[in-house]
């Protein structure tokens, strides 16, 4: 236990004031305040892998590390689409995931936001469309915002989430 | 051919197959296929992959290929099947391998889904593996006369899972959309109370038709798709692809680029191991472990960006070499990162080893015995954690690993790193040990990269030009990725086209092991056990 405590103390607080060095990156405060102002509570995100290569997932997972500290900024990943304000969808839509994606979309309560994350989700990426791939997410469910990149880095994802929440009012 | 008796003799047969490892190719008829498979099954051979091609446009045949890892080389069997003329009433078939090599079962189903060639088995599983009703029953996308471009409406059909009967037995269905940020797949548990009696996996959800997609790309574009088969193994897959292409065109990759590829591959291994150890801690209720390791991983990814130009190296390995040399200050940056990583990993290893709560969750959980691992043809990290010593970097060393083995100091254990226990704790331990070995290896690689022998202007090149490849040549790339072996078999077409490209991830071999490892464990431990294997969905589904 002593070891754990010592290491915690030595590590200190790593969360960066801004989500990254770039000017355009949202600061913790802006993100937090924007979300709070818009929703009056935390933003709940449901991630859906509609056929991705797992690269985009790794960068979403990175948002939970102490540098980005997404949960600490009022963004919460939930286990069920029924609890979600926003669907963060990755991958080209594989034909085998089409039905599951549609069902997940239907299960999310209105009003709902959909972000297509990554090049594949935005336009089909390197996989394109064929007998097994429907390409972009927008070919299957309505999409509000795309975040390009292969995979997009955590700062880009964070910026995109904020942009989506800002531009599209969730509260009726 | 009575020569098919001894493995040594087997290797005398056939011809060299261009590859980054020692590899032979043997063309056999039906009888010889049967005999050879039987001979291999009674030897130390492990099935690596099974795939097929439609060559009816060239010689009226389908071709089935199977690759085995032998102790010192790789053997590829090639079996042409005459399709019996156009419109033949019965589907073309070949003698199945599953009786001798259980890991072939799902590969045979996938091969049927894509090519419409049937594996003859006493009890053939006729359920589709990649085919979930998304395209018509009579469409086999890898047949050259099939229209793989079209979109078809999904017609979902029932998928009968094997049921377990008994007092109080019930089923839990999970997926394909999982509760966390992970890939999609379906797990069907049969449980009594909280005890798992049986698990049946159904995968294939992320099948994107990559084999077909490869055929629309040129040979000089294929590495981009290869890198995206499984984003966490981008370097391994793109290297395997490039190794296959370079072997076919007999283009040696410049020495410096070879070292840089190895450096990138080891970084990939470390990033994944760091992430996994943290995530396993998290699943065992030890959030502190997750925080610490996700931080260490982020440090490494940031170092990647500064020295390789990207956090994930999707486009770093290219045919003929790598995208760029290290920038000027890379050495000192990396040495600092390695030093901090090592300190962090050592400290955390001690904490993981002593934390009573964690030990309680990890030890004896999800045990995969050595015997089952061997019978089932386990490969890569899960095999090593069950005491099976196998690591391509040691067993079939390719450049630059062939030279590195003796340069590792006493500090780092030699490959392959194994653990006898086969439980979650063992899979964690192997990752810890591999991390430390990687760090040592990366330092050696850096030293090599900056050695005077490589500092002349001619040696600074990191990319060789590739001559045009002759058509209809087969090449093989084999790389030990962080999960295990990653293979790419590439057949060239005319005018720089890809005629056929088959990529294989060792998850094919290892997913069925998870069904054994969970037996008798409780449902709440499943996420933990699953995470300790951390197998690929996309890399397998294709
Ligand atoms: S955008 Fe890139 S990282 Fe994301 S799923 Fe597509 S290939 Fe993978």
Of B182, B210, B347, Cβ closest to residue A57:
B182
pLDDT of A70 over the 70 cut: yes
Q: A96: which 2 tokens?
A: 């085998």
| A89-103, B180-194, B479-493: range with lowest mean pLDDT | B180-194
- Model confidence at A19: pLDDT above 60: no
Count up the domains in chain A and report the number: 1
φ/ψ bin of B215: left (φ > 0), alpha (ψ from -120 to 50), beta (otherwise)? alpha
Contact A3 B354 (CB under 8 A): yes
pLDDT value at B255 more than 60: yes
Angle of helix A2-11 relative to helix B287-308, nearest 10 degrees, comes to 40
pLDDT at B407: 77
Which band of pLDDT confidence, cut at 50, 70 and 90, is reported for residue A46?
Answer: very high
Q: Is residue A13 part of a domain?
A: no
CA of B122 to the centre of ligand 1 (A): 41
Least CB–CB distance from A134: residue in B151, B311, B355:
B151
Asked whether residue A24 is assigned to any structural domain, the reply reads: no
pLDDT score, position B412: 62
Percent of chain B at pLDDT above 90? 85
Q: For residue A5, is pLDDT > 70?
A: yes
Look at residue B83 in the predicted model and tell me its pLDDT: 73
Ligand 1 mutation target, pool B231, B233, B301, B310, most atoms within 8 A of CB: B231
Q: Is the pLDDT of residue A21 over 60?
A: no
- Whether A153 is covered by a domain: the verdict is yes
Task: Please tell me which of the candidates A54, A128, A134 has its beta carbon nearest to residue B213.
Answer: A128
> Running DSSP on this structure, what letter comes out for residue A57?
H
Q: Which residues contact B246 (CB under 8 A, 6 or more apart)?
A: B20, B252, B253, B319, B320, B466, B475
**pLDDT tens digit string along B331-364?**
999 999 999 999 999 999 999 999 999 999 999 9
- Give residue A7's pLDDT: 83
Q: Nearest CA of chain B to the CA of A94: how many Å?
A: 6
Q: Which atom of ligand 1 is nearest to the CA of B228?
A: 7
> Which of A59, A93, A97, A119 has most ligand 1 atoms within 8 Å of CB, for mutation?
A119
Residue B151: list chain A partners with CB under 8 A: 95, 129-131, 134
**Nearest Cα to Cα of residue A89 among A117, A68, A64:** A117
How far apart are alpha carbons B18 and B186 in whole angstroms? 38
- Expressed in angstroms and rounded, the spacing between residue B229 Cα and the centre of ligand 1 is 9
CB of B108 within 8 A of CB of B96? Answer: yes
CA dist A41 to A32, A82, A145, A157, Å? Answer: 10, 16, 22, 20
Report yes or no on A157 lying in a domain.
yes
Closest CA to B366 of B181, B178, B185, B524: B524
Is A70 inside a domain boundary?
A: yes
Residue closest to B140 by CA, chosen among A29, A146, A138, A132: A132
Q: B-chain residues within 8 Å CB-CB of A155?
A: none
Q: What is the pLDDT of residues A111-151, one digit of tens each?
A: 899 999 999 999 999 999 999 999 999 999 999 999 999 99
Residue B9: pLDDT over 80: no
> Which domains are delineated in chain B?
7-120 (3.30.460.80), 169-202 (no CATH), 210-541 (1.10.645.10)
**Better pLDDT: A53 or A163:** A53
| Residue B204 backbone class (left: φ over 0; alpha: ψ -120 to 50; beta: rest) | left
Q: What is the DSSP letter of B470?
A: P
Instruction: Name the pTM for this structure.
Output: 0.95
Distance CA B530, CA B280 (A): 9
Instruction: CATH number of the domain at A144, please.
Output: 3.40.50.12280
Residue B2 has pLDDT above 70, yes or no: no
Mean model confidence pLDDT for chain B: 93
Distance CA A38, CA A27 (A): 16
Distance separating alpha carbons of residues B202 and B120, to the nearest angstrom: 22
Residue A126: which domain range?
A: 43-171
pLDDT per residue over B27-68, tens digit each? 999 999 999 999 999 998 999 999 999 999 999 999 999 999
What pLDDT, in 10s, does the model give residues B29-38? 999 999 999 9
Residue A48 domain-assigned? Answer: yes
* Interchain contact A112–B (C-beta under 8 A): no
Average pLDDT over residues B160-179: 90
Q: Which pLDDT score is estimated for B87? A: 57
Pocket of ligand 1 (CB under 6 A): A 52-53, 55-56, 90-91, 118-120, 125-126, 150-151; B 228, 231
Contact check, Cβ <8 Å, B294/A66: yes
B147 vs chain A: nearest CA distance in angstroms?
8
Residue B234 has pLDDT above 80, yes or no: yes
Distance CA B466, CA B250 (A): 9
Give tens-digit pLDDT for B498-525: 999 999 999 999 999 999 999 999 999 9
- Beta-bridge partners for A76: A44
Identify how many contiguous H helices and E strands chain B contains and give both numbers: 19, 15
- Please report which confidence band the pLDDT of residue A17 belongs to, taking 50, 70 and 90 as the band edges: low
Q: Do A132 and B291 touch (CB under 8 A)?
A: no
Task: Say if residue B270's pLDDT is above 60.
Answer: yes
Q: Determine the Cα–Cα distance for residues A52 and B312; give it in Å rounded to an integer.
A: 15
Task: Give A35 to chain B, closest Cα distance, Å.
Answer: 22
Give per-residue pLDDT as tens, B82-102: 876 655 667 899 999 999 999
How many C-beta neighbours within 10 Å does residue B520 have? 10
Would you tell me which residues 133-172 of chain A have a C-beta closer than 8 angstroms to some C-beta of chain B?
Answer: 133-134, 150-151, 153
**Res A85 pLDDT > 80:** yes
On the question of pLDDT at B4 being above 50, the answer is: no
Quick check: is A10 in a domain?
no
Of B156, B229, B539, the CB nearest to A99: B156
Q: How many CB pairs under 8 A join A and B?
A: 180
Mean pLDDT along residues B12-23: 90
Residues of A in Cβ contact (< 8 Å) with B134? 95-96, 98, 131-132
Contact (CB, 8 A) for B478 and B471: no
Q: Ligand 1 pocket: which of A47, A48, A50, A55 to mutate (most atoms <8 Å of CB)?
A: A55
pLDDT higher than threshold 50 for residue B5: no
Contact A55 B234 (CB under 8 A): yes
Cβ separation of A49 and B208 shorter than 8 Å?
Answer: no
Alpha helices in B355-398, H assignment, sequence order: 356-362, 370-375, 380-384, 392-395
- Cβ <8 Å between B294 and A48: no
Residue A172 confidence (pLDDT) above 60? no
């Amino acid at each position: 236990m002593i070891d754990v405590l010592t290491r915690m103390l030595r590590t200190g607080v790593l969360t960066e004031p801004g989500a990254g060095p770039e000017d355009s990156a949202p600061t913790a405060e802006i993100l937090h305040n924007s979300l709070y102002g818009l929703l009056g509570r935390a933003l709940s995100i449901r991630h859906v892998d509609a056929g991705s290569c797992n690269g985009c997932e790794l960068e979403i997972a990175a948002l939970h590390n102490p540098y980005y500290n997404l949960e600490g900024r009022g963004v919460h990943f939930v286990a069920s689409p029924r609890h979600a304000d926003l669907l963060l969808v990755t991958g080209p839509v594989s034909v085998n995931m089409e039905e599951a994606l549609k069902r997940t979309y239907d299960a999310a309560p209105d009003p709902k936001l959909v972000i297509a994350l990554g090049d594949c989700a935005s336009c089909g990426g390197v996989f394109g469309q064929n007998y097994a791939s429907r390409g972009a997410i927008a070919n299957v469910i309505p999409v509000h915002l795309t975040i390009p990149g292969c995979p997009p880095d955590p700062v880009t994802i964070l910026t995109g989430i904020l942009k989506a929440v800002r531009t599209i009012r969730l509260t009726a | 051919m009575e020569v098919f008796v001894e493995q040594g003799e087997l290797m005398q047969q056939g011809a060299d197959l261009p590859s980054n490892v020692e590899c032979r190719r043997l063309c056999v008829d039906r009888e010889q296929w049967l005999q050879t498979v039987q001979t291999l099954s009674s030897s130390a051979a492990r099935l690596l992959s099974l795939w097929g091609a439609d060559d009816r446009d060239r010689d009226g045949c389908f071709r089935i290929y199977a690759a085995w890892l032998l102790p010192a080389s790789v053997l590829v069997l090639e079996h042409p099947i005459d399709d019996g003329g156009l419109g033949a009433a019965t589907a073309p078939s070949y003698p199945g391998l599953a009786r001798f090599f259980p890991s072939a079962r799902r590969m045979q189903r996938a091969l049927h889904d894509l090519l419409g060639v049937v594996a003859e088995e006493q009890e053939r599983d006729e359920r589709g593996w990649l085919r979930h009703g998304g395209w018509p029953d009579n469409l086999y996308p890898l047949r050259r006369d099939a229209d793989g471009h079209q979109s078809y409406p999904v017609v979902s059909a029932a998928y009968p899972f094997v049921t377990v009967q008994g007092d109080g037995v019930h089923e839990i269905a999970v997926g394909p959309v999982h509760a966390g940020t992970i890939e999609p797949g379906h797990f069907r548990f049969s449980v009594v109370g909280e005890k798992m009696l049986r698990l049946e996996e159904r995968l294939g959800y992320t099948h994107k038709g990559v084999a077909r997609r490869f055929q629309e790309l040129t040979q000089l574009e294929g590495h981009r798709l290869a890198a995206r088969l499984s984003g966490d193994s981008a370097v391994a897959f793109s290297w395997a692809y490039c190794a296959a292409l370079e072997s076919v065109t007999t283009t040696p990759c410049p020495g410096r680029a070879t070292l840089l590829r190895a450096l990138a591959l080891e970084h990939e291994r470390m990033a994944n191991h760091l992430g996994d150890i943290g995530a396993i801690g998290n699943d065992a209720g030890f959030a502190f472990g997750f925080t610490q390791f996700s931080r260490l991983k982020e440090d490494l990814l940031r170092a990647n960006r500064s020295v390789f130009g990207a956090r994930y190296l999707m486009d770093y390995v290219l045919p003929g070499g790598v995208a760029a040399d290290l920038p000027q200050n890379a050495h000192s940056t990396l040495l600092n990162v390695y030093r901090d990583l090592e300190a962090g990993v050592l400290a955390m290893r001690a904490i993981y080893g002593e934390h009573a709560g964690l030990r309680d969750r990890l030890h004896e959980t999800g045990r995969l015995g050595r015997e089952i691992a061997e019978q089932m043809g386990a490969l890569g990290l899960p095999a090593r954690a069950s005491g099976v010593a196998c690591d391509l970097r040691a067993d079939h060393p390719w450049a630059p690993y062939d030279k590195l083995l003796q340069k590792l100091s006493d500090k780092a254990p030699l490959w392959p790193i194994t653990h006898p226990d086969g439980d979650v704790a063992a899979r964690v331990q192997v990752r810890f040990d591999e991390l430390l070995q990687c760090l040592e290896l990366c330092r050696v690689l850096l030293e090599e990269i900056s050695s005077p022998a490589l500092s002349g202007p001619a040696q600074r090149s990191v990319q060789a030009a590739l001559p045009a490849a002759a058509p209809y040549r087969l090449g093989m790339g084999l790389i030990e990725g962080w999960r295990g072996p990653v293979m790419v078999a590439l057949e060239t077409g005319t005018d720089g086209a890809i005629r056929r490209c088959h990529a294989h991830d060792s998850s094919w071999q290892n997913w069925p092991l998870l069904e054994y490892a969970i037996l008798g464990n409780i449902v709440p431990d499943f996420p933990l056990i699953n995470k300790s294997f951390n197998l690929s969905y996309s890399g397998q589904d294709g």
